[in-house]
Chains A and B, each alone.
Chain A
Amino acid sequence: MRESVSAELLERCRRGDESAWAELVRATQREVYTLCLRILRNPDDAAEASQDAYVRAWKGLKSFRGEASFTTWLYRVASNAAISKQRSRKRSREHEVSSDDEMLASLPSGESTEGRADVRAELETLERALRALPEHYRAAVVLRDVYGMSIDEIAGQLAISESAAKVRVHRGRKKLKEMVFPANGTKS
């Protein structure tokens, strides 16, 4: 995520300036919501996880020391909220599948690939494949390969060992590759 929050804006938020907070939300909400949606697949769950993330961010602003960039920190908070939501939800697989159509209508509204129909089509195929990945692989691959989190961060977020996190990332990539390149995926 590119840094879209200035130190000055953060300082105003820390002082309780609500207009600065609104500015911060507008600058980051799409990335945060999209991350939650990629992990959870369900728009309602993603909205709830986004809210949880911003509540945690608001409460944690004063303790944010700036070791990492704010947006990187916010990503961690958001993925943590999404994974907590993933753990707590007890919904059927059928519900997830039925929500795909709703998701497809909203994904992607790409900024970087606007006007490049071929690339957008490829990325749409990839989004579909990601959504079809089993939940435990999906979160690991999304956090590692889309958002560039380290293996130890992923292990921490998912509450698993580093070796288990690596295995999930590798198996997830393999499955994803087989879905994106179906004709060649199982060739040996």
Chain B
Amino acid sequence: MNCGDLRGRMASYESGAEPTRREVRHLSRCKECAQEMARYGLLAESLEELSSQVVMVPAALEAALIAIPSAARPRLRAAVVVTHLRRNRRSYASGVALALTAGAATWATRSRRLEAA
């Protein structure tokens, strides 16, 4: 194994992965590669540590995030109504048709009575 091969692979090593025997052999006799490996190791540790570093959230953002449920409510209610209408569209359509038929029948009956009178 030469320095070029090993260094080409260093960036692909995952945190905590053990080097192979050949790599260990090379690292034990190549100070530059060992230093380079240590730099990648340090970089991986530091990146992991960044996950616990957090920034302050702007006050306006916090307020906006907390208000999400109340801001979403009217739209959610409208969505519930639309979904209900879609699911029951056949029943509603039948109901409307029935009402129209009944209305037409009543109107026709009244018209006939008026004509007869």
Binding site for B on A (CB under 8 A): 1, 16, 18, 21-22, 25-26, 29-31, 33-34, 37-38, 43, 47, 50-51, 54-55, 58-59, 106-113, 119, 122-123, 126-127, 130, 141, 145-148, 166, 170-171, 173-174, 176-177, 180-181, 184, 187-188
How far is B65's CA from A177's CA once the two chains are assembled, in angstroms? 36
Nearest chain B CB to A25's CB is how many angstroms away?
Answer: 5
Instruction: Count contacts on B: residues with CB < 8 A to the other chain.
Output: 36
Identify which of B43, B53, B62 contacts A25 (C-beta below 8 A): B62
Complex CA gap A38/B50 in Å reads: 10
What CA separation (Å) do A33 and B61 show in the bound complex? Answer: 9
- B→A interface (CB under 8 Å): 3-4, 7, 11-12, 15, 32, 35-36, 39-40, 43-44, 46-58, 60-62, 64-66, 68-70, 72
Q: B51: which A residues are within 8 A, CB to CB?
A: 1, 146-148
A59/B35 in contact, CB under 8 A = no
Q: Which of A51, A109, A113 contacts B61 (CB 8 A)?
A: A51
The residue from A119, A141, A181 contacting B47, defined by CB atoms under 8 A apart: A141
Residues of B within 8 A of A148 (CB): 48, 51
A153 CB to nearest chain B CB (Å):
14
- 8 additional contacts, CB 8 Å, given A146-B47, A173-B40? A33-B57, A47-B58, A55-B72, A58-B68, A110-B52, A111-B52, A146-B50, A181-B39
With A26-B62, A177-B11, A187-B32 in contact, do A59 and B72 touch (Cβ < 8 Å)?
yes
Rounded to whole angstroms, the CA-CA distance of A68 and B43 in the bound complex is 28
User: Per a CB cutoff under 8 Å, which of B11, B56, B60 touches A30?
Assistant: B56
B62 touches A180 (CB 8 A): no
